C-alpha cells in the first residue's frame, strides 16, 4: 500500500509510524485512519517488529484532532457510523494489538489525537505537549473512545472536568494525572522513546502479547481479568520463549527470544 498521509521508518526492531499532514496539524481524516489501520496491521504481523512508536510530524502537533470538514454535515446515522468504524479500524485495534505501541506525543494532542494517544499502551510527551478533548465546543462528545479511556487513565472526576470544560492540560499536568509516563524535551522525545522501546524489544514478544491481553481484560465488562491472567500465565509454559528465558537464566546468559 502506498501511504499518502503517514511515514514508516524501521530502526532495528522498532517501527516508527509518523502521521504526516503538517499543513493540517496531522488531523485525522478517513483516509489517514485507514492508512494507520493498514500500517499497524502490517507491522503487527511482521515478526521483525517488536515495538511500534506512533508520533506526528513536526514539533507543533502529534494530532490536533479529527478533520472537522469531513463530518460537519453528517446525519445522526452517519455520525454513529463514523465513531463505530473509527473505533474498530484504529482505536480499539491499536489498544488490542499484540505488539506494544508507544505514543510519542509531540505538541498538540487534541480530540481524536488524544484518543489515539490513549489507545496506545502508554504515552511519552514532549515538554511542549498540550492535551485535551474539546469536542463539546463543537456540540458533540468524544467518539473515538475518549469518554471511556480518559477516566480509566486519570480518574472519573478529572476526566469529567477535562471533557466538560474542553480545557487543555500541559505535559507536566498530564504526567501528574497519570496520562503520560514521562515528559522530556522536544528534541529528545524520539530518542528517549526509542530507549524504552529497545528495553521492551529485548523481552519475550509472546509474553508481552499475553500481558497486554491480561491487562486489557481488567477494563472489559463481563471479563474476569484474573482468569485471563491465570490462563495466559499457564499458556506461557508451552512456548519456546519460556524455555529460552528460563534456560538463559539458569545458564546465566542473556536470553535470545524468537517470539515463539
pLDDT single digits (tens) 37-56: 999 999 999 999 999 999 99
For residues 143 and 241, state if they share a domain: no
Question: At residue 72, does pLDDT exceed 90?
Answer: no
Distance in angstroms (rounded) separating the CA atoms of residues 191 and 155: 30
Distance in angstroms (rounded) separating the CA atoms of residues 158 and 161: 5
Instruction: Indicate the pLDDT class of residue 144, thresholds 50, 70 and 90.
Output: very high
For residues 148 and 243, state if they share a domain: no
103: phi then psi, degrees, rounded to nearest 5: -90, 120
Pairing relationship of beta strands 14-19 and 6-11 according to DSSP bridges? antiparallel
For residues 83 and 185, state if they share a domain: yes
Reduced to 3 states, what is the DSSP secondary structure of residue 9?
strand
Domain that holds residue 212: 205-250
In a domain, 235, yes or no: yes
pLDDT tens sequence across 202-248: 999 999 999 999 999 999 888 999 999 999 999 999 999 999 999 99
Question: At residue 16, does pLDDT exceed 90?
Answer: yes
Reduced to 3 states, what is the DSSP secondary structure of residue 7?
strand
Secondary structure of 197-245 in HEC code, one letter for each residue: HHHHHCCCHHHHHHHHHHHHHCCCCCCCHHHHHHHHHHHHCCCHHHHHH
Residue 259 is predicted with a pLDDT of: 87
Average pLDDT, the chain: 95
Q: Show which residues are catalytic.
A: 115, 135
Residue 221 is predicted with a pLDDT of: 85
For residues 108 and 194, state if they share a domain: yes
- Enter the DSSP assignment of 87: I
Question: At residue 71, does pLDDT exceed 90?
Answer: no
For residues 88 and 179, state if they share a domain: yes
As a dihedral over the C-alpha atoms of residue 78, residue 17, residue 205, residue 250, rounded to 10 degrees, the angle is: -150
In a domain, 157, yes or no: yes
Question: At residue 67, does pLDDT exceed 90?
Answer: no
For residues 94 and 214, state if they share a domain: no
Model confidence, pTM: 0.95
C-alpha cell at 155: 480518574
For residues 66 and 105, state if they share a domain: yes
In a domain, 76, yes or no: yes
For residues 176 and 113, state if they share a domain: yes
Residue 3 is predicted with a pLDDT of: 94
List the one residue out of 57, 75, 66, 58 whose CA is nearest residue 32. 66
Pairing relationship of beta strands 108-110 and 101-105 according to DSSP bridges? unpaired
Residue 218 is predicted with a pLDDT of: 92
Question: At residue 107, does pLDDT exceed 90?
Answer: yes
Question: At residue 135, does pLDDT exceed 90?
Answer: yes
Amino acid at each position: 500500500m502506498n501511504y499518502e498521509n503517514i511515514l514508516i521508518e524501521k530502526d532495528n526492531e522498532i517501527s516508527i509510524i509518523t502521521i504526516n499532514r503538517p499543513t493540517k496539524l496531522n488531523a485525522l481524516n478517513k483516509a489517514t485512519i485507514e492508512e494507520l489501520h493498514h500500517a499497524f496491521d502490517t507491522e503487527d504481523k511482521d515478526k521483525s517488529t517488536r515495538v511500534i512508536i506512533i508520533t506526528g510530524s513536526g514539533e507543533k502537533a502529534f494530532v490536533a484532532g479529527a478533520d472537522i470538514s469531513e463530518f460537519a454535515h453528517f446525519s445522526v446515522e452517519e455520525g454513529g457510523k463514523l465513531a463505530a468504524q473509527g473505533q474498530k479500524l484504529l482505536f480499539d485495534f491499536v489498544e488490542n494489538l499484540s505488539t506494544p505501541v508507544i505514543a510519542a506525543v509531540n505538541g498538540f494532542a487534541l480530540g481524536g489525537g488524544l484518543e489515539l494517544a490513549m489507545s496506545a499502551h502508554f504515552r511519552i510527551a514532549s515538554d511542549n505537549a498540550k492535551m485535551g478533548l474539546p469536542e463539546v465546543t463543537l456540540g458533540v462528545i468524544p467518539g473515538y473512545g475518549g469518554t471511556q479511556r480518559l477516566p480509566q487513565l486519570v480518574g472519573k472526576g478529572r476526566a469529567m472536568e477535562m471533557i466538560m470544560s474542553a480545557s487543555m492540560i500541559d505535559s507536566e499536568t498530564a504526567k501528574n494525572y497519570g496520562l503520560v509516563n514521562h515528559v522530556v524535551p522536544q528534541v529528545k522525545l524520539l530518542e528517549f522513546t526509542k530507549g524504552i522501546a529497545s528495553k521492551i524489544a529485548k523481552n519475550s514478544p509472546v509474553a508481552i502479547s499475553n500481558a497486554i491481553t491480561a491487562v486489557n481484560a481488567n477494563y472489559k465488562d463481563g471479563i474476569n481479568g484474573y482468569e485471563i491472567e491465570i490462563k495466559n500465565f499457564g499458556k506461557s509454559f508451552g512456548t519456546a520463549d519460556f524455555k529460552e528465558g528460563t534456560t538463559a537464566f539458569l545458564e546465566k546468559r542473556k536470553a535470545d527470544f524468537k517470539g515463539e
